[in-house]
């Protein structure tokens, strides 16, 4: 399961994620981000993410390349984003 909480902080939207980015939750995250638009003021807080499936890693890498800030990665999540 993945919990997504949207907050506004200092002029940008932050999606606080909690749980695992896997299976149908990858598509839900992509839809949620798509609804936000691409105004360049989006960040994902990954502090409470415990696991990311390969498709989720690909999604997050693409978002990072598009200018979405990936915040507060745990060492495990940071390694997943580097290694896959």
Instruction: Please state the domain count of the chain.
Output: 1
Percentage of the residues of the chain whose pLDDT score is greater than 70: 94
Residues 6-26 have pLDDT tens digits of 999 888 899 999 999 999 999
Q: Which two tokens stand for residue 38?
A: 């691409």
Compute the radius of gyration of the chain from its Cα atoms: 12
Question: Mean pLDDT, to the nearest integer, of 57-78?
Answer: 93
What burial letters (b/e) apply to 56-69, b meaning 16+ CB within 10 Å? bbebbeebeeeebe
29: domain range? 2-83
**What does the mean pLDDT of the chain come to?**
91
> Which secondary-structure segment (H or E) carries 2?
strand 2-9
38 has a pLDDT exceeding 90: no
Instruction: Write the CATH number for 32.
Output: 3.30.750.24
Question: Mean pLDDT, to the nearest integer, of 35-54?
Answer: 87
């Amino acid at each position: 399961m993945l919990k997504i909480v949207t907050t506004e902080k200092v002029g940008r939207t932050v999606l606080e994620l909690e749980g695992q980015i896997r299976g149908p939750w990858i598509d839900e995250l992509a839809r949620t981000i798509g609804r936000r638009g691409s105004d360049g003021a989006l960040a994902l807080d990954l502090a409470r993410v415990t696991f990311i499936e390969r498709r989720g890693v690909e999604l997050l890498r693409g978002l990072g390349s598009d200018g979405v800030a990936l915040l507060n990665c745990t060492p495990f999540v940071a390694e997943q984003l580097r290694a896959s």
